[in-house]
Copies of this chain bind each other. A is one copy, B any other.
Amino acid sequence: MNTKLNALLDAMTARTTDLHGHDFLLTWERSEDELRTILDAASALRLLRENNVATRCFDSGLAVSLFRDNSTRTRFSYASAANLLGLAVQDLDEGKSQISHGETTRETAVMVSFLSDVIGIRDDMYLGAGHTYMKEVGAALDDAHREGVLPVRPPVVNLQCDQDHPTQSLADLAHLEREFGSLENLRGKKMVMSWAYSPSYGKPLSVPQGIVNLMPRLGMDVVLAHPEGYDLVPGTLERAEQQARESGGSFTVAGSMDEAFDGADIVYPKSWAPFNVMERRTDLLRADDHAGLKALEKECLAHNAEYQNWTCDHALMERTAGGKALYMHCLPADITGVSCKRGEVTADVFDRYREPLYREAGYKPYVIAAMMLCARFGDPAAILRDLAAKAAPRAAE
């Protein structure tokens, strides 16, 4: 353990980052060094945990969670991350109908933060709302901290918003790092983020946006594929192109899965709703227009159904590099014949990749914990070094 751990901690120490005391909202606001530090801290925490070394760096403290959408995976990842560091999760359950206006957001943010060390928020239902909300919370916490009302300014961790899903995309990147040996090995690899058919609508855009606005930074050749009209939030493509230019990778858009999958090293086929549908849906949700929502759903499902052939199957996988591209998904996937009649992926492809898919999901708790650690401590490597030196057993020995 120690050699590998020291390499991670030395790398962390060598970098200059500005994570301490800041919210983690969007990967594209953070430098490459900062992202690498998150990944290294996640790996270090995992290494310690898997060697039964206690990683509590809080004797007590609360990790607030606010989930404005159902979640099992992210909820457990957040709970695991908080617990790993010694924090107790306290959930803020807003009730269903409440959409807070500015003033109440400010007050609620302070009221839940008096003895809190971190706040995790998932808010991906309304286009234009989630990220804005998190910034409002952050601003309220800044004010209250400046005024001395809050002795600790708990950082906000974005557990999914309308723009990005950083805990997912960084867990995905941690998975790629392990599968390909290093981040450097990802350079020049072809990665496809593709739309795929699902018999449901309104799936958030944050995963595809998070992927195409992260992976081009690694020097990869990223291809976004989707049927006409399934656009992402404006600005996403321009940002991806800019990132590719800076890293020496590339970013292109394809109009078919066939074209995109040709020679791909990594494929990520996943359904999402078109940007303009999400906009209309947001208006209807805000207006509480149930009939309108029903009508929109019907319209979209019919539209989706035109692209039922956008399924990741054996034939498509055969087009990839050596027929064995790494298949990725944020889970749960809509699997043909298993969770639906026809879905994003066939059962044979999914089954072949179940083990790596589950492994991919397993990085998320550590990525979240790393975000907490780096946001709360000025020298997270020193904290981890102390924990390793103390080597208190997590489970009795």
**Does A60 touch B at the CB level, under 8 Å?**
yes
Question: Which residues of B have CB within 8 Å of A174?
Answer: none
Question: Which residues of B have CB within 8 Å of A55?
Answer: 60
Contact in complex: B396, A58 (CB < 8 Å): yes
Q: What is the size category of the interface that chain A forms with chain B?
A: 35 or more
Question: Which residues of B have CB within 8 Å of A332?
Answer: 104, 107
Contact in complex: B395, A362 (CB < 8 Å): no
Contact in complex: A86, B111 (CB < 8 Å): no
Of A71-79, A237-245, A313-321, the one touching chain B: A71-79
Contact in complex: A83, B115 (CB < 8 Å): yes
Task: Write the nearest CB–CB distance from A115 to chain B, whole angstroms.
Answer: 4
Q: Give per-residue flags for A105-125: 1 if the beta carbon is below 8 A from chain B beta carbons, else 0.
A: 001101110111100000000
**Does A59 touch B at the CB level, under 8 Å?**
yes
Query: Which of B56, B75, B80, B396 is close to A386, meaning CB atoms less than 8 Å apart?
Result: B396
How many angstroms between the C-alpha atoms of A144 and B114 in the bound complex?
36
Question: Which residues of B have CB within 8 Å of A108?
Answer: 72
**Does A54 touch B at the CB level, under 8 Å?**
yes
**Does A62 touch B at the CB level, under 8 Å?**
yes
Q: Give per-residue flags for A41-72: 1 if the beta carbon is below 8 A from chain B beta carbons, else 0.
A: 00000000110001111111110100000101
**Does A229 touch B at the CB level, under 8 Å?**
no
Known interface pairs A86-B60, A359-B149; A80-B114 also in contact (CB < 8 Å): yes
Question: Which residues of B have CB within 8 Å of A214?
Answer: none
